Chains A and B, each alone.
Chain A
Amino acid sequence: MEQSILEPATLEETRDLVAEAVLDGKTLEIMGAGSKRGLGRPVRAERVLSTRRLEGVDLYEPAELVMSAGVGTPMATIQATLAERGQELAFEPADYGVIFDHEPGVQTIGGVFAANLSGPRRLKVGAARDHLLGVTCVTGRGEVIRAGGRVVKNVTGYDLCKLLAGSHGTLAVMTRVIFKVLPRAETSATLLVRGADEQRLLAALRLAMNSSFEVSGAALLPILAAGRSKVAMLRKPVRLQAALRLEGPPPSVAHRIDALQQLLAEDGGLGFERLDANDTATLWAEIRDLKLLSPALPLWRLSMPPSVAATLSEWIGQMSAEHLYDWSGGLVWLALKPAWAGEADLIRRALADHGGHATLIRAAYEVRERVPVFEPQPLALAALTRRVKESFDPKHILNPGRMYAEV
């Protein structure tokens, strides 16, 4: 049923195409490079609109820590441009190329913000949404609007940037984004912590996060996950391992890694190793891009209060074929046996008493069509969500059904 893909090259063309779709009552699937088309509920739209030709960095002021780019700009271009000036996107956007079978770096900056994708450093510096400063977009009413600006401190009117980040193209087609960039740390190191059981290691992660040592990554890597790493040190799986990342000026990192080890050693029973900056970069990219989990199995992503991870760890172990904890336990990845992919109720019931939510990140088309991919909402919230959707896209033209059947 798929026709050719609409590829507007300017804001005006984008607006005209959306306006036409609104007038004709034709639905549009919105995508960037299409690298995350498999994420979310399947969209059955009459036309496909790709933003990939809305491309190019049009403003970069390193001293102002700000960049503006067309949403179709590939992440590889953004990252290379930033790297030349020693800067980066601090929220470490994940690249799901591995799980969705795409080349790394092809995903667009617009897609990263539309899906609010953040990596391990999210627990220290915030999510993608915290770094989005300004947006130009075409709403589902076929109107061009701008939101935000190019400055960080801005409370003028509602914060529509936050709303658009993570809206998966269901409210408006973003055409240009302005975002905050930050200096890359001078160096980094990882403290590997080895222990007998998950409970102990999760407690160590929380202790580390509660220290003043500015930990910028806190993950627990079960033996299977560690075995997939390219970092040799991790593949000697005598015991379970947790990883803590420290970043900053060299003297500071050196001091903090010693102090952190000392703090965690007080408890006894834990072993320690260290990774240098190179291995640190490799490992955290693997964690970020989900390279330590099976590329084939269905994947659930659970966000929960970190202490709940310990409460649920036994259940997590039984439930999953493979798993991994990031964000100090606040983010749990469950890779399930295919037959279990659709067990949404089971998963969500386990979380229900503790707060948090579960998203089905990767599963077969039929499964995503059948089970709620995003956490179902209580009645009043679902009704509000629908009204918000309709305030931007009254005829449900944009990515219909991507997030919820009725949105």
Chain B
Amino acid sequence: MEMPALDRDSLAKRDRIVAALRAIVPGEGVIANVTEMRAYECDALSAYRTLPMAVVLPASVQQVSAILKLCNDEKIKVVPRGGGTSLSGGSLPLGDGIVLGMGKFNKILDVDFQNRCVVVQPGVTNLAITRAVEHEGFYYAPDPSSQIACSIGGNVAENSGGVHCLKYGLTTNNLLGVEMVLPDGSVIRLGGRHLDADGYDLLGVMTGSEGLLGVVTEVTVRILKKPDTARAVLMGFPSNETGGDTVASIIAAGIIPGGLEMMDRPAIHAAEDFCKAGYPRDVEALLICELDGTAQEVDHLIDIVAAIARQHHASFIKVSESEEERTRFWAGRKAAFPAVGRISPDYLCMDGTIPRSQLAHVLKRMEEMSAHYGLRVANVFHAGDGNLHPLILFDANVPDELRKAEDFGADILKLCVEVGGVLTGEHGVGVEKRDLMPSMFNENELAQQQRLKCAFDPVQILNPGKVFPKLHRCAELGRLHVQRGALPFPDLPRF
């Protein structure tokens, strides 16, 4: 992965910038020595590491505003950072830029049960929001597996999801408002405690913008009452096809489960070895389907789901009979990444989304690719919404294996796009999928997205080198090239 060449001017200004940052954030809030900066050199895409010029840890909106204004005026690149758990290199530092760590923004500002929302600072972890409201039986629905470590600011930037987003939506569907700072230092508010922000849906644009448009300094999310009952069903199948068909049939029957996850044989074995979740070992595919609601409703739906599974030749069906058992069913799935980490020195986690009907086809092609590259792959998969997480196993100490794994991953993602899907469902483009963007978007489309970036960040100080394969100056992007009629039609819509 190539990053833009380091900007000499920026490097030359380093000492002056550090001093200016110290004037804004006194004391230990500015880190400039190599040893301490090591903690920030990568995110969870740890194959890539870079030391920034400095790390700054502001504690107030005023400080964030002053830092951004300084960097905007001096043309210094800024990488916002939350928990550093991005899997796509979103918070990977830039050698000629600073890291703006939001760790000190760690307070829950208001829990408002009357309006079913919580106002927090962006450095608060995802799980801490649920912890703050669960005594009243509430929770925050999007639940990424990284929820103990990832920050809500990072969730907003990545539009993160979790196993419950099939029914309850992603971050974007649960976010009510933000306060944010634009690169020129101005502070704006989008939305609030009410539904539907006024004007353009800039809140929707911010969500999933990967730290490229502004720095979020406050977040308001919607909370939900916990369902009365939740039960999970484990279903084992003789093939990926039968498992995939079961998923399609459940949805087609009008049932939207609270969670609907699938694992293939390698993932099942890794998870079972790791945490004894009670998964069957003699199946090719395993589905975990969670139904929630009132007890009556859950029992009623479980019968229907089990009947569908039987029609599709399920060889194993087990319904959770206690909360403890339900949690155990999920434990295997939630620990799938570390479990796979135990059976391979390294792995790459991919994140494409496909139309559900393409599942069996895509899994089959992936097996062929696995043979071609000579690398194993384990699949865990948000089956309900077609979001694949193939884990490509490799050993970074074997020459060339990282490159092979990356090529394999790129092939998988291109396949996703080919069958009508997309490059990333929830982990973001970052640096990881940046160069694949043209397989999904044509030049006009990429240019339009970058023009939107220019509307927020005309000097392009925020996280450059991420998401877009080529940087263009805003002035250049703004030029109009219109021709009368009969233009060669750009690629016609695919959908």
Give chain A's interface residues, CB within 8 Å of chain B.
11-12, 15-16, 19-20, 22-23, 59, 61-66, 68, 86, 116, 118, 122-123, 126-127, 129-130, 134, 136, 139, 141-147, 149-163, 165-167, 171, 176, 178, 182-184, 186, 206, 209-214, 248-249, 251-252, 255-256, 259, 303-307, 327, 330-331, 355-357, 359, 374-375, 377-378, 380-381, 384-385, 387-392, 394-395, 403-404
Contact = CB atoms under 8 A, between A and B. Distances in A.
Given A159-B205, A206-B114, 18 more contacts: A15-B487, A122-B195, A129-B204, A143-B490, A150-B355, A151-B385, A153-B382, A155-B424, A155-B425, A156-B433, A157-B446, A158-B452, A162-B204, A255-B297, A303-B195, A303-B196, A381-B199, A387-B454
Nearest to A358: B198
Interface string B459-495: 0000000010000000000101011111101101111
Contact of A356 (B186, B192, B455, B493): B192
Contact of A19 (B387, B425, B485, B490): B485
B152 interface: no
Interface in B121-166: 137, 158-159, 161, 165
Contact of B198 (A63, A149, A359, A392): A359
Contact of B449 (A160, A210, A377, A378): A160
A211 B113 CA distance: 11
Nearest to A127: B196
B354 interface: yes
A211 B225 contact: yes
Interface in B386-421: 386-387, 420-421
Contact of B200 (A150, A255, A388, A394): A388
Interface residues of B, number: 105
Interface stretch (B40-48, B248-256, B366-374): B248-256
A146 B445 contact: yes
Interface in B336-378: 353-357
A251 to B, nearest CB: 5
Contact of A63 (B188, B201, B357, B425): B357
8 contacts: A127-B195, A136-B493, A149-B495, A159-B205, A162-B201, A248-B293, A359-B198, A377-B199
A300 B483 CA distance: 42
Interface stretch (B12-20, B49-57, B168-176, B266-274): B168-176
A182 B256 contact: yes
Nearest to A382: B199
Interface of B: 112-117, 137, 158-159, 161, 165, 169-170, 172-173, 182, 186-190, 192-205, 207-209, 225-228, 248-249, 251-252, 254-256, 293-294, 296-297, 300-301, 353-357, 382, 385-387, 420-429, 433, 437, 440-441, 444-446, 448-449, 451-456, 458, 467, 478, 480, 482-487, 489-490, 492-495
Given A63-B248, A256-B294, A22 B482 contact: yes
Contacts of B489: 12, 15, 144
Contacts of A144: 444, 489-490, 493
A358 to B, nearest CB: 9
Contacts of A160: 205, 448-449, 452
Given A22-B480, A151-B386, A356-B192, A391 B452 contact: yes
A330 B256 contact: no
Given A130-B169, A176-B493, A19 B451 contact: no
Nearest to A259: B294
Contacts of A143: 444, 448, 490
Contacts of A357: 194, 197-198
Contacts of B249: 63
Contacts of B385: 151-153
Contacts of A167: 200-201
Nearest to A16: B485
Nearest to B301: A249
Given A130-B173, A248-B297, A251-B296, A166 B200 contact: yes
A252 B225 contact: no
B414 to A, nearest CB: 13
Most chain B C-beta atoms within 10 Å of own C-beta, residue among A152, A213, A251, A389? A152
Top-5 shortest CB links A-B: A162-B204, A183-B254, A252-B297, A153-B425, A63-B252
A141 B452 contact: no
Contacts of B297: 248-249, 251-252, 255
Contacts of A403: 199
Contacts of A68: 495
Contacts of B209: 158
A61 to B, nearest CB: 7
A213 B225 CA distance: 9
B198 A123 contact: no
B204 A159 contact: yes
Contacts of A251: 296-297, 300
A375 B192 CA distance: 14
A165 B201 contact: yes
A158 B208 contact: yes
A84 to B, nearest CB: 14
Given A123-B195, A355-B193, A155 B427 contact: yes
A141 B429 CA distance: 26
B195 A331 contact: yes
A161 B467 CA distance: 18
A356 B172 contact: no
